[in-house]
Amino acid sequence: MADRYLRLTGTAPGRFLTRRLGLPQPAALARWSPEHPALDGGLRHLTAGTSGLDLAPVLARTGLGPGGADDRPAAVVLDATGVRDVEGLAEVHAALHPVVRSVAPSGRVLVLGAPLDPADHHQAAAQQALEGFTRSLGKEIGRGRTVNLVRLTDAAAGESTLRFLLSPKSAYVSGQVIEVGPPHESPAALDWDRPLAGRTALVTGGARGIGEAVAETLARDGARVVVLDVPQAEQDARRVADLIGGTALPLDITTADAGARIAEALPDGLDLLIHNAGITRDRRLVNMPAERWISVLEVNLASVLRTTDALLKAGTLKRGGSVVATASIAGLAGNAGQTNYGASKAGVVGLVRSLAPRALDEHGVTVNAVAPGFIETKMTAAIPLFIREAGRRMNSLAQGGLPADVAETTAWLAHPASGAVNGQVVRVCGQSLLGA
């Protein structure tokens, strides 16, 4: 459903009226397209503290030219990895205070921090302060601009993350803190335009909505995509598969042998396991019968646990592969009428945090999750008007996201060069004003 309010605020009378009434003023976001693969404008690189990162080669490959002193940069990168005390935080203010106002609409502010040092509580305090700073700046910067924090120790290990966050692909990702681990081996010859070429991806719930967008995006990036959905949605699954040159797999993911049947259908193995299938059966707990609780937990969580375990144990998931599960801000912040859904999605977060280090050590597979907020789908279009409008506006970007926003984030986590990103739960919510 079209966001008429967003269209209104894009007109001169709409801007005047909403400003006078103190209403949200969302800006149309610059999203990726073949015609606009990069942000329009230059990049300004700033430093607070003494940094040991060699960022220049990585930043030079983002597609953003160097920004001059008087222009409006499309992106500002502040390297604050060397900030170790409260005095160093003053350098953060000194670096960004003069330039924040000049960042172009739909621009990016990216703060780079270091992991917290458990042996140095001054460094840990200063680096943790960057998180509060980043989230707060994201809530005030406006005009479709995003602010994120990346903790890393090696620029090359973070290249895929920096490229993603400094591109139009991250339009609806803001206020996030992403940990990039130590360098991880990635393919020597990597085509950044089609990084998934030669890889096989399975997308559950891929016949419509967010799953369909994920399937299309992974195929765009070169993957052979298997579109899995329940037998009742086989026609839609085949439509999506035919559109992207993939294959359809009609299968109820909740069946006890789903993992074995997937392994049988993919004798050559699987590189990317995308858990997107999910349902809602909303009702307040006092009015919720057991079948509504059980069905949601079975589809959204139990099936994810079972199939992931089965495919790892069988060796179907290849080394160098990725699991990307779908959580939700409802699992992080809770939502009235969704105790079942919130429990299932919080369970996905627990799965990711526990399994990620072991899956990487034992199987060479990363495990991450995306946590969508209010995304414009047929499901959200059916929400009553005033609740729908509240959902759209209650984030720093004051608008709903698109299925493509979740798909682009999934594709980044599935990228062969993202092997140092593991155990992360990344909200795709425009920095929702609710939750962590």
Please identify every residue annotated as catalytic: 341
- DSSP string across 250-295: E--TTSTTHHHHHHHH-TT-EEEEEE---------GGG--HHHHHH
Strands (E), 364-430: 366-372, 425-428
R_g of the chain, CA atoms, integer Å:
21
| Structure tokens given for 341 | 């859904």
H or E stretch covering 52: none
Backbone angles phi, psi at 408, to 5 degrees: -65, -40
Q: Any idea what DSSP says for residue 337?
A: T
Cα distance between residue 211 and residue 370, in whole Å: 12
Determine contact, residues 32/165, Cβ cutoff 8 Å: no
CA quadruple 192, 198, 204, 205: dihedral sign: positive
Residue 361 neighbours by CB under 8 Å, 6+ apart: none
Cα distance between residue 378 and residue 375, in whole Å: 9
- 59-74 burial, b at 16+ Cβ within 10 Å, e below that, comes to beebebeebeeeebbb
| Structure tokens given for 244 | 């992207």
Cα distance between residue 290 and residue 295, in whole Å: 9
382 CB-contact burial (10 Å; exposed 0-12 / middle 13-18 / buried 19+) = exposed
Helix/strand/coil for 390: helix
Query: Nearest-CA neighbor of 144 among 395, 397, 432, 401?
Result: 397
